[in-house]
Structure 1
Amino acid sequence: MSNIAEGPFSIEAITSEDRQAVIDFLRQFFYRDEPLIIALDMTVDVKAMAKLEAYCNSLLDNGLACKAVSADGRLIGVILNGVKCKLDKHEDDTEDDTKFQHITKFLNKVDKEANFFCQYPNVCRALTIDIVAVDHKYRGKGVCKSLMDKARELALKNRCSMIYVECSSYFSAKAAEKLGFQCIYTLSYKDYLNDQGQPIFNPPPPHTQSKVYVLPLDNN
């Protein structure tokens, strides 16, 4: 199903023609709200933001990215997904000397310590929800839920038996819990330290932890 009507908006696949609009949307509704980006004051680091945008662009090329569109054709939400497999290996970008590498190293640590495939040995493939962003005016109106429902549809279509999401935001964690996701790992920001023993991330409250959530899927 390529379109899902949900009241005053629809969920559609993101196409190559949407690329710049999606990046502009993320600049307005994701970069400014993401706790790790805020904690590093990363939006003023041109090179770091270029790395981040290259990463976001890579998520638009796998056929798993979707958008929410209002009845009058405006972009009001996006979800960028991926697929993780049991045999995948993670490697840090050794050429990245920007603030963005602090985020990638942190997320790799979270992923490694969550030890997802060991916790669920019967799972070989999982859909990862990498980025979700919703226009402030449309939050609380079911847009995030509809995007997540579409992610579930894509997971089943791509032979994934679980959905996996790392939530660095208090609000995204609460949204995952509301949608029935199970928390399998938590790391407090105050416990993630640099070589001097100081926290690397000090995001504003209520963001105090990064959590990993999963949602088992019925493939029948």
Structure 2
Amino acid sequence: MKWLNALTCSALRASTLNLNYQPSVKQVVRCKSSASKKWNVDSRAPSPCSKYPCDIRPCFDINSVTIELGNLCHAKMIRSFLYTHYWPRDPSVVGLWMSLDSPYLDILSDKYSHSGDRLLAFERLHRTNERKMVGLCVANKVCPWMIGELEDWAHVTPSKPERHRMYFLAHCLKSPNFFQKYHVDFIYDVEVLGTSQDAAGQGVGVMMLKTVLAQAQELRYPLVQVISVSQYTSRICEKCGMKRDWTMDYTEFVDDAGQCVFFPRRPHHTVGIYVKYYDPKKSLELPCKPPY
């Protein structure tokens, strides 16, 4: 094969003076491949998006993402996003081997679809002028009495994965005891913070969390927390300036028999709670007055 490639390349060089000669596609490719092997030339294929103009490229663009406040019209869309992108990738669900058809996830999906402060991230596709949902963030107020409600609910649940997750959430609220530490009556808890797999690592989660923090500051909420069950969520919280105030390894959470409960995938080994405290004594910045 080597002498055949060399003979083909020599024939191409000899025919450069003949304007009527047109080599075949196989010969050109074979010659280029031999030259790249000889001179160690990078012969990788170009990006699939390089053949499109900049205004109609199918690649993800963070500048085309907008954040909107969800309402009842988005309930079906939120529910579909939870079952398609969020639950199958959540370590607190995957680590317990919880099936997607469990009644507990169905109740949580209805809760997040119809209540709470829901922020939806949409990407506008320039090719078809359509909007695609690429992110979801749901935040709710959490009071101290909800810890006992979670434990009572877990006590009567027949499914072990559901019971373990309820006790896990109750433990994450009770063990740090931020109600007493920060002297607050409620905590603004970001319960859902996820993006689609196509938009992962592109800055959509940071955009949504910054919007939630700005909204909480405007509404004078004293404390915002995120129970980070994955390393990706931890990076988002750190980029938004939140402080890691409590941490726990997944192996530390055991059942009544002392057996490990969670078996998450790498690199999700720890659980951290990130907080952002707004002192209620400090006043907000006044907006600039127009020059009359």
* Structures share fold, TM-score greater than 0.5: yes
Which of 106, 109, 123 is the matching residue for 1:70?
Answer: 123
Residue in structure 2 matched with residue 113 of structure 1 by the alignment: 175
1:61 maps to 114
Is the CA contact 1:181–1:213 (under 8 Å) kept in the aligned structure 2?
A: yes
> Shift of residue 209 of structure 1?
1.3
2:255 is aligned with what amino acid? N
- Equivalent residue number for residue 64 of structure 2: 8
Tell me if 1:210 matches 2:263.
no
User: Partners in 2 of 1:88 and 1:43 — Cα distance?
Assistant: 25
Q: Which residue of 2 aligns with 1:33?
A: 89
TM-score w.r.t. length of structure 2: 0.67
Is there any run of 5+ residues in structure 1 with no aligned partner, and where? 1-5
Counterpart CA distance in 1 for 2:147 and 2:269 is 28
Aligned length, in residue pairs: 211
Greater helix proportion: 2
Quick check: 1:126–1:155 contact (8 Å CA) kept in 2?
Answer: no
Q: Which residue of 2 aligns with 1:3?
A: none
Q: Quote the RMSD (CA, aligned, Å).
A: 2.0
The ranges of structure 1 where at least 4 consecutive aligned residues each deviate by more than 6 angstroms after the TM superposition are none
Judge conservation of contact 1:23–1:53 (CA < 8 Å) in 2: no
Aligned partner of 1:19 in structure 2 is 75
Distance 2:144 2:92 in 1: 27
**Which one has a bigger Cα radius of gyration?**
2
**Cα–Cα, structure 1 residues 155 and 190, in superposed 2: closer, same or farther, change >3 Å?**
same
- Stretch of structure 1 that moved more, 167-176 or 82-91: 82-91
Letter in 2 for 1:138: A
Deviation at 1:86, TM superposition (A): 5.7
Decide whether the 8 Å contact of 1:189 with 1:209 is kept in 2: yes
2-structure distance, mates of 1:136, 1:194? 32
- Take 1:41 and 1:190, find their aligned partners in 2: how far apart are those partners? 15
SS of corresponding position for 1:154? helix
Asked whether the 8 Å contact 1:125–1:159 carries over to 2, the reply is no
Gaps of 5+ in 2: 1-61, 125-129, 285-292
